[in-house]
Every structure is written in C-alpha cells, then in structure tokens.
Amino acid sequence: MKKLPVVLLCFTLFFPSISSIAQAVEKAKVPAKQGVDLAPNAVSAVLIDRDTGTILYEKNGHKSLPPASITKVMTMLLIMEALDRGELKMTDKIRTSEYAASMGGSQIFLEPGEEMTVNDMLKGIALASGNDASVAMAEHLAGTEEAFVKKMNERAKQLGMDDTVFKNANGLPVAGHVSSAHDIALMSRELLKHEEITKYTGLYQDYLRKDSKKPFWLVNTNRLVRFYTGADGLKTGYTSEAKFCLTATAKRGNMRAISVVMGEPDSKIRNQEVSAMLDYAFNQYDSQPLYKEKQVVKTVRVGKGKQETVDVVVPYRFSMLVKKGEKG
C-alpha cells in the first residue's frame, strides 16, 4: 500500500490521456432510451456499468429511503477489507454475544456463545441475510455494533455516499437509517472489487452446521442467481417500510452490470424489473477491456533511487464502455 501513491502518480504522469479518459468515464452518464421506464413500479432505481461506474439508467436515484437488508452490502465490504488487511481470516472463529443472538427478522439462529467461522458467517449474511450474523461480525471487528456503524458511515463518506446514514449493521428498521439507489450502487461496485464475494452471493443454496445435529439449510433470498443468466449477487432487502429492494449484479462476457431498485411492491415485480434493467445493459452496451487488475503497463527508471526502476501498475481492472454497433 505504501507504493500505491507512487504507482498512481506514475500512471498519471506517463499516461495522461488514459487518466483523462478515466476521469471522464467516471463522470459519464448515458441515459436509457428516451421514453422508456425500465422500472415503472420502483420508487427509485439505478443501473450502472461496474468497471467504469457509468450510469445507464436512473430514476429518483438520490432519493433517501430505508434500504432494509441491503445495508449488509456495507457490512460485507468492511469484512472483505478487513480480510485484505490481514486483520481477519476466513478460518477465524467468531463468538456470538447475547445481543447478536437476540436480533429478530432474518437470521441463522445463532445461540449466545456459539462460535462460527468467518466463512460461515459470510454465507449466513449473503444467503440468508442473517441479522444475527451481521451483528456478531460487527462486534468482532469493532468491539460493539455502535463502533462498527461509525466505521460504516466513515466508509460511506469516503465513497461519496452523501444520501446515506447507517444506524445499524443489518438494516432492521430504525428512524433515520437511510440510503439511496445511487449510493447503494456505489457501495455495491466497491464490494465487487472483491470479486471473491460472489462465491457467497452467487450461491443458491448451502448448509451451515452441516456436520452437527442441527444442520441449517440456506437458500439465497436473491432468486435471480438461479434464474437470470450471469447473475451472482448481490443483496435483497425487505421491511414493511422499505418494501422490496434489491441490488443485483450479473456478468456476461467482459461486462458486469449492477442494478438497484428500491420500494418495489412485491418480489416478483422487483425481479422482473431488475431483469429488464440488466437486459437493457447487456443488449445495448459492451465492455472493452484495456488492462487487467494489477497489470504492469510500463517500467519506469528512477533517477538516484534506491530502486533503479518501478513498475507502473493498474490498481484495478480498466475498461471502456461502448454502445453496441458503434465504431471508433
């Protein structure tokens, strides 16, 4: 990480044209075909290209609404980042407190004092939307859920999620706990930089406590991972206040799209409209890869340096979004 600023600086200095393109693409917005409402029943919706962040469709994208269990995208992001920093291992055992075990709503029925690996906790969060597992992980990483929520809000600000305020780690209804389709797309995109998360969010079913006397069958609350080609995530949400919400992602060929809807009247319509949004992305656009993640694109000589050369490395996958049928 200490080398990253040098790498990025070198990339900007030696590839100014690519840097300018990247900045332009990040700010790009390609509206859906005029007159077409891809999500007529949603209160709010956003469709983006994962690699560039280009907005392909938007409806009330910055409207602050209760996100329900989509909140757990941020919880999973902080878990994945802790794993990257070496603060956590998939094999670590997480102990369940009485408070974590007391969570209502969707749960994996953790008992006070029960221990479960990070790997299994992630399954419980990603597939079963376990409120208890989310709080157990929050307490393990930050000491208390309150301290973890502070980290959630700090990370949200870093990502530019200006419509979002988190009050808990699982999305259970609390006054003032809000986000927007735009912000959910931002944190979903960030989570998908950890591509291994789709090993969990893309599962349709699995077991917890498989070899115990009380095995627990998990079925993904996001049915699109089974019925939509290329879908492998990301997170559903429902409360009576929030209605039916979903941040979904699918990959076809070189392109990965993220579709977010909030306030849908039921799960069937939610899935239909998310599918229509994803269809639009894949039918209208394509992604042209330029550089792979961590690809060395140039070696630069360092004058009077302890090191004679330094590699210019692309820190993440870099591609261009193109309209199908257009050349150049």
> What residues are annotated to the active site?
69, 72, 129
Residue 18, Cβ density class (10 Å: 0-12 exposed, 13-18 middle, ≥19 buried): middle
Nearest partner of 237 among 156, 169, 191, 170, judged by Cα: 170
Pairing of strands 309-313, 296-301: antiparallel
Structure tokens at 169: 């780690």
| CA 85 to each of CA 17, 78, 89, 201, 244: distance values in angstroms, whole numbers, following the listed order | 32, 11, 10, 21, 34
Ramachandran bin of 161, using left for φ above 0, alpha for ψ from -120 to 50, beta for the remaining angles: beta
φ/ψ of 115, rounded to 5, equals -110, 140
How far, in Å, CA of 1 to CA of 111, rounded? Answer: 39
Maximum pairwise Cα distance, the chain: 66
Nearest partner of 195 among 234, 141, 252, 245, judged by Cα: 234
Question: In sequence order, what are the beta bridge partners of 309?
Answer: 301
Do the beta carbons of residue 313 and residue 7 sit within 8 Å? yes
Structure tokens at 135: 């709080």
